[in-house]
Amino acid sequence: MSRARRAAARRSPVRIALLAATLGLWSAPQVIEAQDTSGAVRLEARPERVQIVRGASTPLRIVAIDGAGRIVEGAAIRVVAPRGALAYVDGRVEGIEAGQHRVIATLARSGAEPLTLEVPVTVDWPRVDRVEVTSAEPGRLYPGTALRLQARALHADGSERPGAAVEWTSSAPDRVSVDLWGVVTAHEPGPVALTATVDGVDGRLEMTVPPFPAVALRLEGGLDSGETARTGDVVRWHAVATTASGAAIDDVPVTWSQTQLAADTAFTGSSAPAQVRDGAFVADAPGVYAVVATAGPLSARATVGVQPRDVVRELEVVGHGLTQDYRTTDLWVFEGQDGRDYALTGSKVADGHAYLFDVTDPAQPVKVDSIQVNGRTVNDVKVSPDGRYAAISREGAADRRNGVVVLDLSALPSISVASIYDEGLTGGVHNMFATDDYLFALSNGDKYVILDMSDISAPRYVSEYNHPDSRVHDVWVYDGIAYSAEWGTGVVVVDVGNGRWGGSIDDPVFVTSFPLPTGATHAVFPYWSESAQKMYLFVGDEIMNRRGLPWAGYPRSMGSYADQYDDETGLGGIPLTTQGYIQVVDFTDPESPEMVARYEVSEFGTHNFWVEDDVLYAAYYEGGVRAVDVSGELMGNLYTQGREMAVFKSAHPEGYTANATMVWGAQPFKGHIFFSDTNSGLWSARLVPRTRPIS
């Protein structure tokens, strides 16, 4: 087959549907009984299009038609529906998510091109049953203050209409006005009713505005006299409103603002050099700032000086284990029981190989052993903290029984297979997490299975966790709590032994879930910050395109040049294009998490990462490996605050894909940074001290 035909086949609806099903984007296919289909010439849907209400189902029959217009009975028609949006079971389609969707039917024919049919399915929201109106902010409404209200449009079954279009009205707009976004502003005392209308259904909130009680407003907190902040430092104030007698009033709403008074250079820098939220201030640019709190007719002001963060350090490349004949995937660096240091790496396009490097001398990584397993890809590798065993994941096994391969590390530098566990893991294992006693293994992106590893020659099933209607990509366990990255669901938190929520390793208990803005939650790393005294969860996206960005990648109009990269084999001269970023969530109280910060590098997409000693080591695909200062309380975009310490882009002219950076994973280890690049192998580097010692 020519390159053009292969490219066309890769883009065909049939291949796209089957690939999507493999990746978990579509439901498992429903198949009608097989029979001779040589006479079939087209597929028909009855009805031709479907319109249903979310939560309801309706019959949808797909039939094969022969040249005479007759139904080919028992044709083996494969029918798939987008997972999480529709379900197609036993000839009925169910609406799960409102919107425009499609069901794809395929009929394979011997000696002929397959027949395909796309059936449009419109899923409408059910009617709104009631609207609940509450305040979205703390405090009481007084003249001269404002509060934001929120309206929840609920269906009869109690589910909420997301993104409902709300129309707001006030019964006394001269007394209390309300804008398009539900922000109410009081102008004078008295009663008022605020109404939120969604699809003709009203919700009301009645209140009485009392006279403004405060006569003074002061700020507490901030920095000590003579101190300055650095860019990225969070400085906090608390606004205190008091009566004539000096008594504090706790429920007066306060509005915060900031202004840059002077910059350290002739230019003020970015148009938004700082931000303030609920009394917390952080600056992206050096300068002098005024922070102002306003409550009704009162205001209070503080001034803060901000210096450059000045954390940039030289990153020195120490060693490199070049790979040219396969794509390097994840890595794990560890101290073996023999006292030497090793790095285990996975691979793609390498017939199921994992490779062991001796990195005792980081300047000279030496490949000392390898192992081949039945699989197309070894995506993930993990080593137990005690160095007793390693686990490598398998995908694309020839016998379709993937599972995990457990390696015995007792005879380093030689590695050997201790056992293979595939029960319940046959669909493919993409990621894992290893403790001394247990291995958490993902099963076909649907759930994670927990194995007892006390005897590595015979792993034992303990339990599992499967979040409803969710796809899982990564899991990390800290202090008996499993944090899993689950794409559109966001982060799912499960008690697997912490005990606060009654969970154990034998009986995992759901704690909470936290959706992320992009809906592409891919990796997660929990980190207790001593400097901030907070539990931060670093959560990364993975978006393998740049759609919607000014630089969206090489266009098809470039012809053969754009086709150099082959998405089936991984061969070619043009690398993948990515986007996405790392989000930081304050999980100090897992029952009340809060998004506080992000690390977003324009035009690049993040992959795996690690945090140690207040430094984030991020594998940022084409953006290289990046070291970021994450000390202290975090707020805003770390990228624009001067928190980046070092960046290195590991392109190599003799790599698997020449001169193309594609960093997969990074791990700090004994003062060095080890990272893998899918195009050029294993690297070691170090951050050079700011002040070199005198020899």
Instruction: Give the pLDDT confidence score for residue 139 in this predicted structure.
Output: 94
Q: What whole-number distance in Å separates Cα of residue 86 and Cα of residue 278?
A: 42
Residue 552 has pLDDT above 50, yes or no: yes
Q: What whole-number distance in Å separates Cα of residue 278 and Cα of residue 239?
A: 9
Domain ranges of the chain: 3-124, 130-209, 219-307, 315-687
Predicted confidence band of residue 602 (pLDDT cuts 50, 70, 90): confident
Q: What whole-number distance in Å separates Cα of residue 430 and Cα of residue 421?
A: 14
Q: What whole-number distance in Å separates Cα of residue 46 and Cα of residue 646?
A: 60
Q: What whole-number distance in Å separates Cα of residue 327 and Cα of residue 541?
A: 21
Fold annotation for 3-124: Immunoglobulin-like (2.60.40)
Report the CATH architecture of 130-209: Sandwich (2.60)
The C-alpha angle with vertex 517 and arms to 519 and 475, in degrees rounded to 5, equals 55
Q: What whole-number distance in Å separates Cα of residue 15 and Cα of residue 27?
A: 15
Residue 68 has what DSSP assignment?
A: T
Nearest in space to 322 (alpha carbons), one of 686, 695, 688, 658? 658
Instruction: Give the pLDDT confidence score for residue 111 in this predicted structure.
Output: 80
Amino acid occupying residue 407 = L
CB-based burial, 56-77: b 16+ in 10 Å, e otherwise: ebeebebbbbeeeeeebeebbb
Mean predicted confidence (pLDDT) in 93-110: 92
Q: Per residue in 238-282, pLDDT tens? A: 999 999 999 999 999 999 999 998 765 544 455 568 899 999 999
Nearest in space to 62 (alpha carbons), one of 45, 76, 50? 45
Amino acid occupying residue 114 = P
Among the four given CATH numbers 2.60.40, 2.60.120, 1.10.10, 3.30.70, the one describing domain 219-307: 2.60.40
Instruction: Give the pLDDT confidence score for residue 692 in this predicted structure.
Output: 57
Q: What whole-number distance in Å separates Cα of residue 693 and Cα of residue 414?
A: 39
Predicted confidence band of residue 1 (pLDDT cuts 50, 70, 90): very low
Instruction: Give the pLDDT confidence score for residue 262 in this predicted structure.
Output: 74
C-alpha distance across the termini of the chain, in Å:
65
Sheet holding 130-135, edge to edge: 130-135, 146-154, 183-186, 176-178
Report the CATH architecture of 315-687: 7 Propeller (2.130)
Q: What whole-number distance in Å separates Cα of residue 666 and Cα of residue 328?
A: 12
Mean predicted confidence (pLDDT) in 303-317: 96
Q: What whole-number distance in Å separates Cα of residue 498 and Cα of residue 542?
A: 29
Q: Matching CATH topology for 219-307 and 315-687?
A: no
Q: Per residue in 326-359, pLDDT tens? A: 999 999 999 999 999 999 999 987 889 999 999 9
Amino acid occupying residue 88 = Y
Find out whether 72 and 60 touch, Cβ atoms under 8 Å: no
Q: Per residue in 643-692, pLDDT tens? A: 999 999 998 999 888 888 999 999 999 999 999 999 999 999 999 998 75
Lowest mean pLDDT among 13-22, 157-166, 241-250, 584-593: 13-22
640 phi/psi in degrees, rounded to 5: -90, 0
Sheet holding 190-198, edge to edge: 167-170, 190-198, 201-209
Mean predicted confidence (pLDDT) in 539-550: 86
Q: Per residue in 123-143, pLDDT tens? A: 999 999 999 999 999 999 999
Instruction: Give the pLDDT confidence score for residue 30 in this predicted structure.
Output: 57
Residue 48 has pLDDT above 50, yes or no: yes
